[in-house]
Amino acid sequence: MTNALATTEAIEALRAHLESSELSLDLPGAHEARRERTELIDQIDDYLLPRLRRLDAPLLAVLGGSTGAGKSTITNSLVGVDVTQAGVLRPTTRAPVLVCHPEDLSWFEDDAGVLAGLPRSTSATAVGSIGLRLVTSDALTPGLAILDAPDIDSIEVANHDLAAQLLGAADLWIFVTTAARYADAVPWEYLGLAQERAAALAIVINRIPPGSEQEVKHHFSAMLADRSLGATTVFTVSERELGEGRIGPELDPVRSWLQSLAADAAQRQELVGATLDGALASIPDRVDRIASALDDQAERLEALRDITTRRYAQALIDIDSELDRGTLLRGEVLDQWREFVGTGAFMSKLEAGVSKVRDTLRGMFSSGPTPDQQAAGQLESNLLVVTRDAVDRAALDVVEQWEARKGGEQALAASSQSITALSRASTDISGQIEHELAAWEEYVLDLVREQSGDKVTIARTLSTGINGVGVALMVAVFSQTGGITGGEAAVAGGTAAVSQAVLTAVFGEQAVRDLARDARENLIDRLSKLLETDRQRFDALLGDGTALGDPLRDVSSDLQKAMA
């Protein structure tokens, strides 16, 4: 027997990790890992923790087997009264029935005890289709309880899932099969589980044609030996006419064996300890399979996240490239800027010196509404279109790439948005862009104000000209790092040169370079954060991306140390 307290604490920690381990994507092996995770959590709740806390609880023998094998008939025959329904309808056992001696009822009435997750009732009917019905009988020896489980091959999924859960809670598996079906695949799957978990196991071969008992038992024992189960106790029950629906003397060997187990406290404790230690010893391999599936999930989630990260990073590069190509200076921006500065005449005035530049600026800035605000507004409008288009393309690419990868379509389905909505930028993206561009424009004006105070007295003498100089700086931002090419190159180049000249005349060449660099970096930083906000729609579908495989293995290792 293991150290019960230390083992209990380690199992509780393991359960917490299992509970938080998500296997959300339908990857190869995920279904099996989910089932194993559920079965392990159920066994921890239904058997391991209750048994470790109450090692002196009655021995629980669970009768499991295929549809029509005769589990209910055997249960009724062992008790001597009909406590569970046997019949021709399939599945015959629809709700589990636990029979114990009246003195032992309190062990199983406790909701925190064995099979804690199941509602229970002592009435004639169970609580719901998965409720546990408790029945007492003086025919059973104190210290022994028998549970008639649903069919392991039931056509009702809930039934065979419950059967697996009940078998996981057993101190002793009594597996019931028939002479006609003992070679079927499904029973051997469950026998394989019993072997993996080193559970105490006995097998009843029911309905054997009279005279064939030894032949059937010899053949079945050979099959058990081939699967390293040769030490399993096997009982044979000949097919006879039932008396009042119950099996007669043919079942006496089973009855005597169970009574001897219940009566011998040392033997019962040894069997309970063997099953408990076997279940504990099976945990590392089971956990490792779950952890491997978690690693696969984490790897796929990271691959999907990497697609999103790379695609939105490319969107920022695309926007930056559009800025370099001077796209934002085309159309009305150029027209309004030319109207504002008057390209040819203004260049001549620039040649006359900085003082005349100031006079010119003062005249333009104080003449009431000028096109500078319109130029800035159109510049922002162009940038909004470029940014929204880049985000739209990024979102669409992410959706298409996710849909092409296993698990990606399932991740998309978790969104409250439709695929159409996910394939476009967020509905409020335009408002976000406008907010960021307005903040950026204010940042540019602040740069102009700060630089003016140190270099020249433009902030004092041209108080209405800050906006115009700010627009000049915005134009410079989009013309210094690549300029405009193509048919507009000549006109736009001249306009950009005017902007550069205005700024150089006011601030000096080096200061202009620094101002343009700072303004450009601030704009790109704002756009980067905006793209990150939109990308989070996809990141949220992938969870936090934490790989729980290794932490789960670590907790399993702690359990092994506690057991040692």
SS3 assignment for 540-553: HHHCCCCCCHHHHH
Give the residue among 4, 95, 133 at the shortest CA–CA distance from 57: 4
Joined together, the tokens standing for residue 123 give 């009435």
Q: What is the pTM of this model?
A: 0.74
Q: 358 vs 69, 103, 157, 459, 464, CA distance in Å?
A: 103, 105, 86, 11, 12
> CB-hemisphere CA count at 13 Å for 171?
27
Q: Which of 469, 525, 519, 528 is nearest to 499 (CA)?
A: 469
Quick count: other Cβ atoms within 10 Å of Cβ 518?
A: 16
Strands (E), 414-561: none
> For residues 260 and 247, what is the distance between their CA atoms, to the nearest angstrom?
20
Separation between Cα atoms, residue 120 and residue 115, nearest integer Å: 9
CATH 1.50.10.10 fits 57-263, yes or no: no
C-beta neighbour count of 398 within 10 angstroms: 25
Cβ-proximal residues to 268 (8 Å cutoff; 6+ apart), any chain: 59, 143, 144, 261, 262
CA dist 326 → 291, 329, 507 (Å): 52, 5, 23
| DSSP H or E stretch at residue 172 | strand 172-178
Max Cα-Cα span within the chain: 125
**59-65 and 233-238: which strand pairing?**
unpaired
Within 10 A of 460 (CB to CB), how many other CB atoms are there?
9
Tokens of 397: 């690419």
Give the angle subtended at the CA of 259 by the CAs of 134 and 267, to the nearest 5°: 105
251, two tokens: 């079942």
- d(Cα 426, Cα 430) in Å, to the nearest integer? 8
Strand 97-100 relative to strand 144-148: parallel, antiparallel, unpaired? antiparallel
- Which ranges of 134-264 would DSSP assign to H, the alpha helix? 157-168, 185-196, 213-226, 252-263
Q: CA-CA distance, 165 to 149, in Å (whole number)? A: 9
pLDDT tens digits in sequence order for the chain, 564 residues long: 447 788 999 999 999 999 998 898 999 999 999 999 999 999 999 999 999 988 889 999 999 998 889 999 999 999 998 888 764 444 454 678 999 999 999 889 877 778 887 888 887 655 555 578 899 999 999 999 999 998 888 777 777 788 888 888 999 999 999 999 998 888 898 898 888 888 899 999 999 999 999 999 999 999 999 999 999 999 999 999 898 889 999 999 999 999 999 889 899 999 999 999 999 999 999 999 999 999 999 999 999 999 999 999 999 999 888 877 665 544 444 444 444 444 444 434 433 444 444 444 444 444 444 444 555 556 677 788 889 999 999 999 999 999 999 999 999 998 999 999 999 999 888 899 889 888 887 887 777 777 766 544 444 334 335 555 656 666 666 665 444 333 333 334 444 555 555 566 556 667 667 777 888 899 899 999 999 999 999 999 998 766 678 999 999 999 999 887
Domain extents for the chain?
57-263, 325-547
Closest among 141, 193, 187 to 170, alpha carbons compared: 193
Would you say 466 and 308 are in contact if contact means Cβ atoms under 8 Å apart? no
DSSP 247-286: --GGGHHHHHHHHHHHH-HHHHHHHHHHHHHHHHHHHHHH
DSSP 68: T
